Amino acid sequence: MKITRFYLSIIALPAILNCTAQKKVAPLLPVLKDVFWNDFSVGTALSALQIEGRDHKADSLVKKQFNVLTPENSMKSMFLQPEWGKFDFRIGDRLTDYAAKNNMQVVGHTLIWHSQLPAYAQTIRSKDSLQAFFNNHIRTVAAHYDKKVLGWDVVNEALNEDGTMRPSIFQRLLGDDFVTEAFRLAQEASPNSELYYNDYNNEQPAKRAGAIRLIKKIQGAGVRIDGVGIQGHWHIGKVPFDDIEKSILEYSALGIKVMFTELDIEVLPRNFTGAEVNQRMRNTNDTALNPYTAGLPDSVQKQLADDYAQLFRLFLKHRDKISRITFWGVNDGQSWLNGWPVPGRTNYPLLFDRNYQPKPAYYAVIATKQQ
């Protein structure tokens, strides 16, 4: 049924466009989730405002185009457990209810991450106290959403760029085995949810090697891990296609699913790669760092479309290994890249513009199924 709707929409498009010219009605757009129905799920990240239903344009677009939802921030520990032992599931529950009502799935993001911890957790200095927070948070949250979410980003960004363990609060106080233990606890508390490791730059050789060691360690302990998330925060004209393909092959060889979990392609100047949220650029008042406040030039729009098209051709080549592609935001105005690593910039990293209209990149992605 999904495929039929897509092909009917493509076949009917010339007639619809002709009708549009006569009656001035909006043309029917192809639907991402239907176009790639037989290949992989297509998702997006939602802000709290969108989850709460206060962004009606986003609501209409999300219902039409996507079939998997990830909370951009609302399921991180600082929001779910703002006070020790006191959990606030209201927004997360609203998301899972919304998804169930609209025949979508939810990926929980994230159980354990060193960033965006509640204030009290950031001040913990003893191993016993952190272990208590760690155990209770995973057990309570994972159990609450068992059978309500497709899967969890159990641990987020536990590695350095060279593939060694990041010296986070969890690594320092609980040791390198905290990742395996997080998956063990999540497996026990949420047996019906898939369990993923998620990171940025883990398509790069050194970090990829570290992630593979980490995944093998989890597997070697007899603990379940179902997939790896490659975040996919890349830069226009510099998308590492060869490393992405090698990563798809090497991760899938471990017997796990491969996902691209936070996809966006930045168009603005930046002097480093990755998505370390604590990094910032200097000289933030330099207007050269924010060159497209009046709109994106056609040449840049074309490069963005070309990059997305090449990326999706690669995804389609390995569709048997990839289970999900999630864009990190519904439209350009929502993107976190407007505020990082330079506050207040005007960025254009997604398929839909600030008015929720499809960009050339959207049509380029759709066209990869017609080639």
65 and 31 Cβ atoms separated by less than 8 Å:
yes
Q: How far apart are CA 116 and CA 77, in angstroms?
A: 7
Q: What is the DSSP string of 107-135?
A: EEEEEEESSS--HHHHT---HHHHHHHHH
CATH of domain 35-279+286-370: 3.20.20.80
> 85-135, pLDDT tens digit by residue?
999 999 999 999 999 999 999 999 999 999 999 999 999 999 999 999 999
What angle in degrees, to the nearest 10, is found between the helix axes of 241-252 and 298-317? 20
Query: Position 224: which residue type?
Result: R
Cβ atoms of 321 and 248 within 8 Å: the answer is yes
Q: Give the model confidence (pLDDT) of 52-83 as tens digits.
A: 999 999 999 999 999 999 999 999 999 999 99
Of the CA atoms within 13 Å of residue 18, those in its CB half-sphere come to: 5
| Model pLDDT, residue 1 | 37
> With 70 as the cut, is the pLDDT of residue 26 above it?
no
CA distances (Å), origin 51, targets 40, 171, 255, 281, 329: 23, 33, 34, 31, 12
Up-side HSE of residue 77: CA atoms within 13 Å toward CB? 27
d(CA 130, CA 118): 12
Distance of alpha carbon 117 from its chain centroid, rounded? Answer: 19
Residues with a catalytic annotation lie at: 157, 262
Rounded to the nearest integer, the mean pLDDT of the chain is 92
Evaluate if pTM is beyond 0.85: yes
pLDDT classification of 284: cutoffs 50, 70, 90: low
* All residues at 6 or more sequence positions from 165 whose CB lies less than 8 Å from its CB, including other chains: 158, 159, 171, 176, 210
pLDDT tens-digit readout, 27-44: 689 999 999 999 999 999
> What is the per-residue pLDDT across 222-281, written as a single tens digit (0 to 9) for each?
999 999 999 999 999 999 999 999 999 999 999 999 999 999 999 999 888 888 888 888
Q: Where are the domains of the chain?
A: 1-30, 35-279+286-370
